[in-house]
């Protein structure tokens, strides 16, 4: 189904819908855009709500009734305030009972967790994504109060996923069909769909989530399913910056980056994009714009095919500030190939991402970095995989260098630009920052340097200055 007007899928993040004033601003932006384009909206929960829901669930599972009652009040207060400020009486009469229903769901789930003293992964997904249901109801109602026909849609009706609760993977083709079918009648009637980010459902209809920050991914999944002309991700910064502005205040906006650069930045922790955001739009080469809700006149960053003739060299930096380096040595008992095969097989069972990998084949040593949150898991997976060898002292137990940060230099055109690693080493050496490990892929899209976690800010600032980003 195509209309003559361009189709834009627009996602608004948590800060963008953080309070009544913000929701009002979002409704005005959407109403403006809807004058010249067809718009499909995707929304996150109000800022801080997902964290609050997850905390409440954890407290409930410890049997603590009082703490989650506090969260219930806060949840009701924040959403009610938006409804009171922005909605006409008729809209309030419709929306308030639906918000109350979600708060009832929150109570039921928390009571359940507190009774059994346990959180089930599927219960957690249903609970942690309630904020998206509530914000979608409010944004749709705020649009109607401005005279724009709009309807809240639960993405459990659109996005079909596997049952990997907490970090589900979508089935792309089924998602495309369901999304088109479910939204077609709304679009025909000229209604703006306001879809919950973050949520999906299994084929059986059980609610799942796409991982923290997953609403960006929801937006590109829906954008691709509808063959949108563009996907706009509205957030609280002017676009993709040369580094995380919280670490490097001198960071500035990059007007244009390639899909591969954006995917690399997102994989290595640039919070502005969920790691899987780029995947769905690649095939149709749908451009993705990152824009600032609080500064809409700034054009933002365009993510698209690699622009011809772009300046060669480093485009942006990103960091993973909490990582660990793990070293496994096969001694002379295991061939390097066998060692590597068994290490990666044990990681792949639980889908654990490695952030960098280095090897020393002569010494039969494999070294790799993982997110600190995965460390315990990785350690026990490796100890299990090499249980017998460790028991008989054929190989040593895995060694861990904790509290490491990884600084990643990203740029499509670093390839063929000599001396980049040397300059990065020099910049760190002059500040007495020791490089614990280094990895550079043959695609030369990124160079990763592991440094002491306490020096990450200094390291990223030094490299940012060195390359005059
Ligand atoms: P939203 O709630 O809109 O999804 P997020 O907080 O998830 O927003 O992502 C935006 C934040 O990402 C920014 O406020 C910024 O602090 C952080 N960030 C980290 N790295 C970058 C980068 N390279 N460019 C822009 N923002 C970045
Ligand atoms: N609300 C979810 C989170 O905080 C999803 C998102 O904001 O993208 O992780
Ligand atoms: Mg985000």
| Number of Cβ atoms within 10 Å of the Cβ of 393 | 10
CA 194 to chain centre: 20
Burial 5-20 (b: 16+ CB within 10 A, else e): eebbbbbbbbbbbbeb
Task: Tell me the pLDDT band of 364, cut-offs 50, 70 and 90.
Answer: confident
Contact 358, 402 (CB under 8 A): no
pLDDT tens-digit readout, 50-70: 999 999 999 999 987 777 888
Task: Tell me the pLDDT band of 442, cut-offs 50, 70 and 90.
Answer: low
The pLDDT score that the predictor gives to residue 359 is 85
Across the range 154-162, mean pLDDT stands at 98
Residue among 312, 303, 316 at smallest CA distance from 256? 303
Please state, in angstroms and rounded to a whole number, the distance separating the CA atoms of residues 460 and 244: 9
Helices and strands (H and E) in the chain: how many: 15, 16
pLDDT tens-digit readout, 333-345: 788 888 899 999 9
Q: Which of 3-7, 79-83, 260-264, 337-341 has the highest mean pLDDT?
A: 79-83
The minimum-distance atom of ligand 1 relative to the CA of 240 is 24
Alpha-carbon torsion angle 185, 188, 191, 192, nearest 10:
90
Which ligand has the minimum distance to the alpha carbon of residue 270?
1
Please state, in angstroms and rounded to a whole number, the distance separating the CA atoms of residues 92 and 213: 29
Under 8 Å CB-to-CB from 221, ≥6 apart: which residues?
159, 170, 172, 175, 179, 280
Please state, in angstroms and rounded to a whole number, the distance separating the CA atoms of residues 156 and 175: 10
**Ligand 3 is a single-atom ion; what residues have CB below 5 A from it?**
13, 213
Distance 15 CA to ligand 3 centre (A): 9
The minimum-distance atom of ligand 1 relative to the CA of 234 is 3
pLDDT tens-digit readout, 143-153: 999 999 999 99
Cα dist. 466→8, 194, 405, 422, 459 in Å?
A: 38, 44, 19, 11, 11
The pLDDT score that the predictor gives to residue 418 is 78
The minimum-distance atom of ligand 1 relative to the CA of 290 is 25
Pocket lining for ligand 2, CB < 6 angstroms: 13-14, 44-45, 50, 131, 197-198, 212-215
Q: Residue 450 corresponds to which tokens in the numbers above?
A: 């592991």
Query: In 329-419, which residue ranges form alpha helices assigned H by DSSP?
Result: 336-349, 375-385, 387-391
Residue among 392, 406, 416 at smallest CA distance from 451? 406
Say what the pTM is.
0.93
The pLDDT score that the predictor gives to residue 67 is 73
The minimum-distance atom of ligand 1 relative to the CA of 235 is 3
**% of the chain beyond a pLDDT of 70:** 98
Distance 303 CA to ligand 3 centre (A): 16
Q: Is the pLDDT of residue 20 over 80?
A: yes
Across the range 380-399, mean pLDDT stands at 89
Which ligand has the minimum distance to the alpha carbon of residue 301?
1
Under 8 Å CB-to-CB from 344, ≥6 apart: which residues?
354
Contact 440, 421 (CB under 8 A): yes
Q: At what angle do helices 130-145 and 121-128 cross, to 10 degrees?
A: 20
Kind and range of the H or E element at 99? helix 89-116
Q: Is the pLDDT of residue 430 over 80?
A: yes
**% of the chain beyond a pLDDT of 90:** 83
Distance 317 CA to ligand 2 centre (A): 23
Kind and range of the H or E element at 27? helix 20-34
Residues in the chain, total: 469
Query: In 129-248, which residue ranges form alpha helices assigned H by DSSP?
Result: 130-145, 172-188, 215-225
């Amino acid at each position: 189904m195509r209309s003559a007007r361009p189709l834009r899928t627009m996602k608004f993040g948590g800060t963008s819908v953080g309070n009544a004033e913000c929701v009002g601003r979002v409704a005005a932006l959407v109403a403006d855009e809807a004058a010249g384009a067809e718009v499909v909206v995707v929304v996150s929960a109000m800022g801080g709500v997902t964290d609050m829901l997850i905390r409440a669930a954890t407290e409930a599972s410890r049997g603590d009734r009082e703490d989650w009652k506090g969260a219930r009040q806060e949840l009701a207060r924040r959403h009610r305030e938006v409804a009171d400020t922005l909605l006409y009486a008729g809209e309030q009469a419709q929306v308030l009972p639906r918000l109350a229903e979600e708060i009832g769901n929150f109570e039921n789930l928390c009571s359940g967790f507190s009774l059994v003293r346990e959180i089930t992964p599927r219960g957690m997904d249903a609970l942690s994504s309630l904020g998206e249901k509530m914000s979608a109801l409010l944004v749709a109602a705020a649009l109607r109060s401005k005279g724009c026909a709009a309807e809240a849609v639960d993405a459990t009706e659109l996005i079909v996923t596997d049952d990997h609760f907490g970090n589900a993977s979508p089935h792309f083709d089924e998602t495309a069909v369901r999304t088109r079918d479910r939204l077609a009648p709304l679009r025909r009637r000229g209604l703006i769909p306001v879809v919950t980010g973050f949520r999906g459902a299994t084929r059986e209809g059980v609610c799942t989530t796409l991982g923290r920050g997953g609403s960006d991914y929801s937006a590109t999944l829906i954008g691709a399913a509808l063959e949108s002309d563009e996907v706009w991700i509205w957030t609280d910064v002017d676009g993709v910056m040369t580094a995380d502005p919280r670490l490097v205040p001198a960071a500035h906006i990059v007007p244009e980056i390639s899909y591969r650069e954006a995917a690399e930045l997102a994989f290595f922790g640039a919070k502005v994009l969920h790691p899987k955001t780029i995947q769905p739009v690649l095939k149709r080469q749908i451009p993705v714009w990152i824009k600032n809700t609080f500064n809409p006149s700034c054009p933002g960053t365009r993510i698209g095919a690699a622009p011809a003739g772009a300046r060669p060299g480093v485009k942006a930096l990103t960091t993973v500030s909490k990582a660990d380096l793990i070293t496994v040595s096969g001694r002379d008992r295991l061939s390097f190939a066998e060692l590597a095969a068994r290490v990666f097989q044990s990681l792949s069972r639980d889908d654990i991402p490695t952030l960098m990998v280095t090897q020393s084949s002569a010494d039969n040593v494999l070294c790799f970095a993982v997110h600190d949150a995965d460390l315990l898991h990785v350690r026990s997976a490796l100890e299990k995989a090499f249980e017998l060898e460790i028991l008989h002292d054929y190989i040593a137990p895995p060694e861990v260098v904790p509290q490491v940060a990884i600084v990643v230099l990203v740029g499509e055109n670093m390839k063929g630009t000599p001396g980049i690693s040397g300059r990065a080493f020099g910049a760190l050496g002059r500040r007495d920052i020791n490089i614990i490990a280094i990895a550079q892929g043959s695609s030369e899209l990124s160079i990763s340097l592991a440094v002491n976690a306490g020096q990450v800010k200094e390291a990223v600032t030094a490299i940012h200055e060195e390359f005059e980003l």
